[in-house]
Structure 1
Amino acid sequence: MPAKQPKFYSPADAYVKATAFCAYQERTQQEVREKLYTYGLEEDEVEEIIVRLIQENFVNEERFAKTFAGGKFRLKKWGRIKIRLELKARGLSAYCIQKGMDEIDPEIYWDTLLELADKKNASEKEPNPLVRKQKVARFLLGKGYEQDLVWEAVNSVNEEE
């Protein structure tokens, strides 16, 4: 089967497609820009459409950051480090990243960290408590939680036993 040929759109048609793309879910400028280039548009046409999408509030990176950070924390229980790195990788400004981080309540963050530590500790079959602590800590660090908080949570969970 031959490779699928990319479709080329006029700037007007590309704008309509881009509004649908942005209306479906929050997008960053970078994601929209990449999508518009797949439509065979020139750089100036792409930038013109992006400016229009921003003016019409289809693209709002601060809103994206808030939605993304809140969602990844609540649903996937990611830590601040992982969320911040992911937002940075998506090309967001430091201001937008900070706005996203502000969506995470510190008390709920700590409670979530303790809950994850407790669950992982309970499910871990390792008989050696030091090795078990290490495994729980590695799991939490992989989720993107800060090292000092991870060790505080791991020690707190192990004191309860």
Structure 2
Amino acid sequence: MKKYCSYQERSHADVNKKLYELQLDAELRDEITYELIQQNFLNEERFARAIVRGKFRMNDWGKIKIKQQLKQHHIIDSLINVALTEINDEDYIQKIKMLIQKKYDALAHELPFKRFQKTILSLVQKGYEQPLVFQIAKNMNLDHGK
């Protein structure tokens, strides 16, 4: 299990699932999990921070989608909030602007209203907050057919 945890950051849920698949009884699973935590092979905060950094930087996910991913790993809300501090507010705004421009440019064949609408929807589906995306897009003076 140390090798499994060393390869990449794992959540407690990941480790418990793996141990269950190995058909170990509950008491042994708990002992192994405890040892992994004691030896710092398993750390929920480190896992959550790694997910936040990776999903934001590599997958261009917004905070909503990242939060959902962490909840699927049974990470508690307080740790999720701590992990989300990995995302700098200015970097978040810049990422939104970049994604808006990229999507808007890719939809050049669409009518202005549809183009604007599809751009906003695209970012909302990636987990960005709709009011924030809308406000930033509006401030970018994109033609939205009005």
TM-score by length of 1: 0.85
Partner of 1:34: 17
In structure 1, distance between residues paired with 2:63 and 2:110: 31
What SS does the corresponding residue of 1:102 show, helix, strand or coil?
A: helix
Higher relative contact order at CA 8 Å, sep ≥6: structure 1 or structure 2?
A: 2
- Give 1:154 shift: 2.0
* 2:43 paired residue number: 60
**Cα RMSD (Å):** 1.2
Moved over 4 A (4+): none
Could you tell me which residue of structure 2 aligns to residue 90 of structure 1? 73
Aligned with 2:31 (options 48, 51, 55): 48
CA deviation map 1:106-143 (0-9, x unaligned): 00000000000001101103442111111001100001
CA distance in 2, matches of 1:138, 1:34: 35
- Could you tell me whether the CA contact under 8 Å between 2:116 and 2:142 is conserved in 1? no
Q: Secondary structure at the match of 2:51?
A: helix
TM-score norm. by structure 2 comes to 0.94
What is the deviation of 1:82?
Answer: 0.3
Q: Deviations over 1:74-99 (max 9, x none)?
A: 11110000000110111001121112
Looking at CA atoms only, which structure, 1 or 2, has the larger radius of gyration?
1
- Structure-2 separation of matches of 1:66 and 1:38: 26
Percent of aligned pairs sharing the same letter: 38
Task: Give the Cα–Cα distance (whole angstroms) in 1 for the partners of residues 109 and 34 of structure 2.
Answer: 55
Task: Name structure 2 gaps, 5 residues minimum.
Answer: none
Q: 1:13: which partner in 2? A: none
SS of the residue corresponding to residue 57 of structure 1 reads coil
* 8 Å Cα contact 2:11-2:73 kept in structure 1: yes
CA distance in 2, matches of 1:95, 1:19: 26
Corresponding residue for 2:56?
73
Q: Which amino acid aligns with 2:42?
A: V
Q: Is 1:107 equivalent to 2:90 in the alignment?
A: yes
For 1:123 and 1:94, locate their aligned partners in 2 and report how far apart those are by CA, in whole Å.
Answer: 36
Match status 1:133 vs 2:102: no
